[in-house]
Each structure stands twice: as structure tokens, then as C-alpha cells.
Amino acid sequence: MEGAVRAQTADPGSPESNAAPAPARETHVFTAPEIMCGGCLKTIETALADTPGVDSARANLSARRVTVTFDPAVTSPELVVVAIKRAGFSAAPLIDGGDEIHAARVGELMPRVGVAGFAAANIMLLSVSVWSGHASDMDDSMKSLFHWISALIALPAIAYAAQPFFKSAYAALSARRLNMDVPISLGITLATAMSFVQTMRGTDHVYFDAAAMLVFFLLIGRLLDEQMRARTRSAAENLMSLKALTATVLDPDGAVRQIPSRNLIPGMTMIVAAGERIAADGVVQDGVSEIDESLISGETLPKPVSRGDRVHAGTLNTAAPLRVTTTATEDNTLLAELSRLMLAGEQTRGRYVRLADRAARLYAPAVHLLGLSTLIGWLVTGHGWEIALTNAIAVLIITCPCALALAVPAVQVAAISRLFGQGVLVKAADGLERLSEVDTIVFDKTGTLSMGEPTLALDQPIDADVLARAAGLAIVSRHPYAQALVRAARARGIPFESQLGVREFPGSGLAFDTPDGEERLGSALFTGAAVTDPRHLASLWYARPGRAPVGFRFEDRLRSDAPETIAALQAAGYRIEILSGDRADAVSDAAHALGVTAYQGGVRPEEKLNRLTALKSQGRTTLMVGDGLNDAPALAAGHASMSPSAAADISQNAADAVFQGEKLGAVLEALKVARRAHRMALENFGIAMLYNIAFVPMAVMGYVTPLLAAIAMSTSSILVTGNALRLRTMKLSLDRVTASRSKQS
């Protein structure tokens, strides 16, 4: 997908077209891989707000992207990139493969973590030898040798491994701002430089181990965050990957040629073969077939189409060739509109700013001020520069936000590991945090509450011989109803044989010649069945000579644990709604079976999006659970979102989490883990704050050396990690949702 998504102008036939034309606006998406925290979002958005011609700018933390709407007559994508770079961040227009940046950053961090860990472990071994109780037995030359060996290990290792922090700090300082990497870089640099000077002077105050260990722990936190970000991808970008790249067109002179789909114009005639995606919206001119139209209705069953029926770009022709006259192409197709809806949904999602990022806005300058005050204070009181600088370094190291940086990632890793064991894959970096805040859950029906495949209804008496003969015809077809009939016969242990010479009529059914006459399996019209009850209309009919046609009714069965899962969610205080593109009567039956009072069928993608917007305006935080392409905009717009593993790729990419298997209870488990993870993240923040309250004053007063500061800092990291690991084996229950939760953002 291209990085530019042009905004639509007014319809020429609308009343607005009689007024002065509105100025053209363009919306472009840019990658900004150096976005690290909530402060970065604010810096970029503020910088772009001051850029002439920019109407709006929204930075996305989890995707590290910036969406900008501007007047092309005043500014351009190049000028937007310049504005972002002036704010201290690299940027580029989003193009195909832009998400490879995340994978590249993970690939860059992995060897740095290895180098830092190797260096820290070896330097610590040398430091233990020097600082152990037998240090008095070691002569000065041996201590000096150990210090020089430590320097030879630490200097190149730190210079290489700490580059992500150094580059980030340099970019921030170049833009005259501070971030959390500035005190980290300063502490690492000062500790390393002072240790090197002390090594040259032959003194004992050498802290290479502290600097190397600090780099190691911080790189682990950065790597965990990057690995989660690398799995996220723009839903709008993935949706456009469903667009057919080429189209076969029939010219007026009868010539057939292939052209890029972007060159299609309304009025052209396309030839769409069976198994091909339709390249543009249009009307069927000739042919009878079936279309997989799940992105429109969410219904997994193919839709029969013939002359005069409308078809849409991105849908799949499953049965027979069609001739289609194009009516809307490129940016005007329904597929492009869905992409715009998802892009809008991603940007209107409330940004969940982590507590660590909020604290970082004041944390970084406070750390520098405290370190400088410590240095000046010790100098003013008559102490030498060495003691003053040592105490200042200790303050910088002990206040470096290692525990604070690991507080959320450690909990996320433990939570994600537990959920993975339960068949739930959390994709979004802040997905757990948003799942913990929801108070309303909106379910799609087909493929979400239900299995998404037809099964033969059990409440109809069907003779075993009839089912066997029908299955013998059905086995040659890939139609969902035919396959369901075959599964039903096998499930009941009814033997049948595949018939040779079965003819398939697309959109109608199957026919087979026997000595007694023709047997047919298909629609009521095809088999000559008389339909009298439209409410319980059979979906498939079998007819043979001398016998009345027999109807087979199919149903989309609910997931086996759906009733108990919905009941548990309602008992916990969640508001439950069902929004589905399926038939109203099917949705009503499912809602009554599940005890859900708020439901609606026949809902289109934009209507789902509007409903989520309405819920948000009521102060509710919504979890959207869906599987179809028509659910993708709503999945992107929901405060949080989940999708089953059998969902369309675009829905899985739009969702924050994907659950495996046939059990809906995965949604319940995800909410339990998310809410507990939220509390444990707060506990970790408390541990980090108590650590600072206890040790920072001691460091300022000179009671903590840089080495002890590094040990205290490492201990705080171990504590928050150990606390997080408890989540993997804890027995969890779903606490009742309170009304106040809906007011959180």
C-alpha cells in the first residue's frame, strides 16, 4: 500500500457541490522508528501543528507511525518529513515493506544484547576477584592488571552495545529536548570515562562492571519492546494487499488483454476467471457464479450472482467465469473505502500512554538536575572533584530508569507467555493494557460466536439412504453446503460412494444420470421443490425420480462454550452486544440462545464503526471481537480488539490479539490476564518508586558508590521481573467491572 491516502472530495451531485469547492486535502502516513514514549508523540504532534498547511497530525506509539493531513498547495510530504526531522526524529513516507524497519531494529539489538551480556559477565568476574574478601592478598599490580583487562573488555563493548541509547540521546539533544536515554547515556559515559581515568591513575574506584551491566539490562527492555512492535502491522495496508494487481479486460473490438488494475476506468469490461479476485467494483454483464463476499456481509457462505448483480473489488469469484462492467475503480472502490475506514479507526483509537512514559516527561530533567545538584553540592562543601563526580555518577546510575523501563515489558512477557499457552497470541505492544480497561464487549456472530461453517441441523428427520445418496453427489463439489452434507454423513457413520459422471451447474447444483432418471442436488428451483415456509427454508434439496424432493436445512452452530463464556462476562459486569452482517433472524436466534439483549443483524462495516463511535461518546471502552473483513474497521477502531485464528488475514492484523481453537473462553482468559497484568504493572511501578525513594537520598549523601548503585539498580530490575513472572502460574478470576472503569482512557 502506498503511504498516501487521498481524502475524498464532495460528491458532484450533492448539495455541497453547489457551494465553493472545499480546498483539497491529502492524508499521508510516515514511519518514525525512533518514537519511544509518550513524550515523543507530543513532540512530533506539536512540531507538525506549527507547520504551515498541516491540518492535523496523529502519532502512533505502537506502530511508530505518523498520520498527517495537510493542504498540498501549502506543504508537501517532503516538508512534513523535514518538520519531523527538525523535531529530532528520522522519518520517511510509508511504502510497501515499511514494517521491515521493525525487524531490522530487532536484528540490530540482538547482537548488542549478546555483547553487553558477555562483557558484563566477564567484567563482573574480574570485579568479584578485586572486591572480594581476599582483595588484601592481591598486590597493586595484579589489581591494576584486572582493571586494564576490564577496560579492554568494557570500552569496545560499551561503545558498540550502547549505540541505540547514544544515538537517541544525541538526536534529542540536537533537537534541544530531553528523553530518558539522555541520563542513561550520560551515566554510562561518565562511569566509563571516570573508570578509565582511574585505571590510568592506578586507583581502586573503577566501575566498568556497573556501566556494562546497566547497558545489558536496558538493552533487554528495549529488545522486548521491539519484538512486540515487530509483530504489528497496519490493517489498512494489509487490506489493500487483497486488491488484484492486474485485470483481464475485453475491448470493444473483441481483443483480450491484461492491464494493471490501477489503469481500469468505469465502463470497461473485465473477464474474471474462477478463483480470481475481482479487480474493481462493477455489475455482472454475463455469467452465473458464486462470490465469496465475506468482506461485505461477514457471511462465509458464497453468494450466487448472475447478470445484473453488483460485485466488489477484492471479493473472490469461486465457481465460474464472469464478465463484469466496471463502475468504480482504484480509490473509489469499496475495498479502498474499507481501507480508509480502518486508517481512520486506527487514528481515532484512544492513545494509551504508559505510566512510565508519563513519568518520563518529568523524570529525565529531574535526574539531570539531581545529578548536577549533587556534583555542585559536594564541590561547594569543600570536597574534591573526584568524590563529587563519583557521587554524581552514582546518582545518575541509581536513578536510571532500568526498573521503570522493565516494569511494563516484564509483565507483558509473562502475560503473553501465559496467554500463548492458552492459545491466545497478543500482537499489539499495548494490547494488554487496553484489554484491562474495557467495560463493553461487541461480538460479531458468524465465525466469532459461531464456528463460521454450515452444519446439518439435527432437528430434521432424514432417511439414512437419502443422506447417503445425496452425499455421494455432494462429495465432488467444494460448495460449503455440499461439504457440510458429506461431513454429516460421515459423522453419522453412513457409508456412501462417490458417483462418477456428476455434472455441476454453478449457482444451481449437481446432477447425475441414473437408469431411473436424473438425480439432482441443489437449490429449490433447480430440484423443483415447492417452498411453503420461508422462515425455515431448506438450504439444499435432493430430488430423484418418483420421489418428492427432500430438503436439508443447515445452521451455523455456536462455539461449544459460547453460552458459559457470555454468562461469565455478563456476571462480571461487562455490557455485551452482538453486531453482525448476517441475516437478522440468524442473529436474533444466536442472541436469544446466549442471553444477549442488545443485538443487530445486517450491519455494514461503516455501521459497526458508527456504533463503536457512539459507545465511545457514551464514555465506554469497547472490546471488539470479530473475524470477517467487514469487521476490520471496527477492530481497528475499538479500544481493544480480538480475532479468532480462522479469521481473514486483515482482521487478524487489525486485532490486538488472536485466539486459536474452537473455544470462545480464550476471550475470558485474555481479560483475566490483562486485568491482572495491569495491577502487576502498577505493583512494579511501586517497586521502582520505593527503590528510588530509598536509595536516591543515600546516593546524594555519598553513602552509595557507583558499583553499589549498579547493584541496587540491578536488584530493582530483578525484583520487578520476579514479580512479573508470578503471573505465569497464578490462579486468576475475573473481578467485577465497575462503572468507573468506563471513564478511563
Q: What is the largest CA-CA distance in the chain?
A: 115
* Region of residue 613 (left: phi > 0; alpha: psi -120 to 50; beta: else): alpha
3-state secondary structure of 605: helix
The answer to whether 589 touches 610, Cβ cutoff 8 Å, is: no
CA–CA distance, 523 with 316 (Å, rounded to integer) = 21
Single-letter code of the amino acid located at 52: P
Residue in 639, 706, 648 with CA at minimum distance from that of residue 674: 639
Q: How far is CA 605 from CA 1, 502, 575, in A?
A: 21, 39, 21
Residues β-bridged to residue 54: 70
DSSP codes of every residue in 448-489: IIB-SS-EE-TTS---HHHHHHHHHHHTT---HHHHHHHHHH
Place of cell 430430488: 543
Q: Is 444 a catalytic residue?
A: yes
* β-strand pairing of 424-426 with 657-659: antiparallel
How distant is the alpha carbon of residue 11 from its chain centre? 34
Q: What is the DSSP letter of 560?
A: T
Residue pair 687/722 in contact (Cβ under 8 Å)? The answer is no
Residue 447 per-residue DSSP state = I
CA dist., res. 52 & res. 637, Å (int):
29
The H or E element containing residue 680 is: helix 665-700
Task: Give the span between the Cα atoms of 552 and 301, in whole angstroms.
Answer: 16
Under 8 Å between Cβ of 634 and 338 = no
Partnered with residue 292 across adjacent β-strands are 316
Tally of CA atoms within 13 A in the half-sphere of 589 that contains its CB: 13
Q: Tell me if 620 sits within 8 A of 440, measured CB to CB.
A: yes
Give the integer Cα–Cα distance in Å for 162 and 155. Answer: 11
Instruction: For residue 252, count other CB atoms closer than 10 A to its CB.
Output: 7
d(CA 282, CA 291): 13
Q: What is the distance, to the nearest Å, from the Cα of residue 687 to the centroid of all Cα atoms in its chain?
A: 29
CA distance 385 to 191: 14
Separation CA 201–CA 384 (nearest Å): 16
Amino acid (one-letter) located at 174: S
Residues in the chain: 745
Which phi and psi angles does 614 have, rounded to 5°? -65, -40
Cα–Cα distances (Å) from 657 to 295, 411, 628, in that order, read 20, 16, 15
Q: Are strands 575-579 and 4-6 parallel, antiparallel or unpaired?
A: unpaired
Q: How far apart are CA 69 and CA 26, in angstroms?
A: 6
Q: What is the DSSP string of 145-207?
A: HHHHHHHHHHHHHHHHHTHHHHHHHHHHHHTT---THHHHHHHHHHHHHHHHHHHHHT-S---
The one catalytic residue among 99, 209, 357, 444: 444
Instruction: Return the closest-CA partner of residue 161 out of 177, 179, 184.
Output: 184
φ, ψ at 5 (rounded to 5°): -125, 110
Three-state SS at 327: strand
Q: List, by residue number, the catalytic residues.
A: 444
